[in-house]
Each structure stands twice: as structure tokens, then as C-alpha cells.
Amino acid sequence: MEQLIKANDVELCTETFGDPADPPILLIGGTMLTWPDDLCGRLAASRRFVVRYDLRDVGRSTTVDPDAPGYTLRDLVTDAAALLDALDLPRAHIVGAGPGGWIAQLLALDHPGRVATLTLIGTRPLAPGPVDPDLPDHAPELMEHFTNPPAVDWTDRSSVVAFQLANARATGGRDFDEDEARADIEAVHGRTPLGADPGKAHRANQMGTVFAALDCGDRWRERLPAITVPALVVHGEDDPFFPLANAEALAAEIPRAELLVLPRTGQGLPRRTWDTVVPALVRHTA
């Protein structure tokens, strides 16, 4: 059952799965539905206590203005640590996906005592903005799509869902499953508070859009060698948003990190990857 938990002076919509006596895993995405119910259930069935939550300005957590967030990336890191406090979890296995991977990296660097292991999925070692010369930026064809997006009526939910589906198709890789993506997008919109503007709901529930407006503070890539906990880097072979070399850099710069590449996969964790990813997460968090 979802509950609102006060952490770092905001309310974070949180849901748990499994036995609190089992090793805890904190899942950090954008919306909590970055981590579908069935995925959380499989982890819980593997004797893990799973925690997922909506970030600020996303889903049912405290929302002010996703277009102009009055907080920083470091505040989101503090939110995660404060959520562990509120749940009476001194330490957890941390899993971050996409821009949620930035929160996970900084949690491991700035609050190392709270992190038992680190898993980074579909992310990179840099915040939004120019990339380092040795890292690939977003694929040119993806940027062409974002520069010339399909028409959308921001007052009509079906139009917004179609727009999001086009974005998912552009980032989904060779084995993109359109029916699965549509169902996931509809589920996210189903949690949008009644009366919310569909356009703002879209911007709030698309991870990158909120993060792109944040003050992300100082670089941290040069600090990655200071991460001492076991690290697993999971990345789609076809990811055009954060191309694979970003994951290879993370795995090379975090000591003893393991790299798991998902063939024919773009952004996210489609269900066909779970038979690979869930056992890997269970082994990694053992």
C-alpha cells in the first residue's frame, strides 16, 4: 500500500514489498512505477525488502512546479537518505535508474555508510549538460526526434500518452515492445492526481525533464574511484539516450564494478530482461 512519508521536509509517496526483516533494496527512479509491481514482487519473493518511491514533483509526492524546481540534485540525495531514516533502515542496497542513477552515485559518495551495494541502470557519470570528450552524447537521431517532436495537445491525456509513446519508441532499442510501453505509460498517468494538467503530468513523470531544470552542483565523476561498495552497472546495448560507453566508463572508474549489458535493449528494463536482471540483483545484494 502506498503511504506518504515525511522526509527532508517533503512528503514522498512510498511503497514497500516483502518482509522488513529481509535485506532492504531502495529503488530510485523518477516515478515509483519505474519499478513495476511484478518486478518488485519478484525481488520480494527472492527475500528482499523492496522500497520504491516517487521523487519530488513526480507522481503523488510533494509537487510544487516541475518546470522550475526550487531544490537541487543534492536535495534529492538527502531525500533518499532521510527516507531510509524514516523507515528505520540504517543501510540499504541502492538501485538507481536513468537520472535516478545520479542520486544513487551521490548517495554512495556523500552518505557511504547508508549504502550496502550500488546498482546503476541506464545512467552516466555526468549530470545534464555538455558531456566529457571521451563520452558519447545522446544519439543524433534521438536529438532529431526531440527537436522535431510529434504534435501534442497538452490538455488531452490521450494526446500526451501518444506523445510519450513516441518518445519511448525512440529510446526503446531494437526489441521495443509497444504494447508494454503503452501500458506502462497509462499506468503512470493513472496515478496523476485528479485535476492535474496532463502536460505538467507528462513533464513531472518524464525523469529527464525535471532533472534538466535542476541545479546539479559540482561534478562527481572524478570521485567515482572513492566508491568502495560492490557495484553493478546494468545498461541496454541500444540505449540512444545514454549510449553504452557511458556505462563502460562507470564500470571502469568505480573499483571492481561489474558490467551487465542487455542485448537489443534501449532505456529502461522491459519485462523480457527481468529473467536476467532479477537474478543478477539478487546475487549482487546477497
DSSP characters over 110-141: H-GGGEEEEEEES--SS-SSPPPTTS--S-HH
Q: What is the pTM of this model?
A: 0.95
The pLDDT tens digits of the residues spanning 16-72 come to 999 999 999 999 998 999 999 999 999 999 999 999 999 998 888 988 777 778 899
Grid cell 527512479 — which residue?
29
Query: What pairs with residue 71 in β-bridges?
Result: none
Is residue 233 within 8 A of residue 207, CB to CB? The reply is no
Whether residue 206 has pLDDT greater than 90 = no
The pLDDT tens digits of the residues spanning 84-140 come to 999 999 999 999 999 999 999 999 999 999 999 999 999 999 998 899 999 999 999
| Per-residue pLDDT at 201 | 54
| Per-residue pLDDT at 150 | 80
DSSP code of residue 227? -
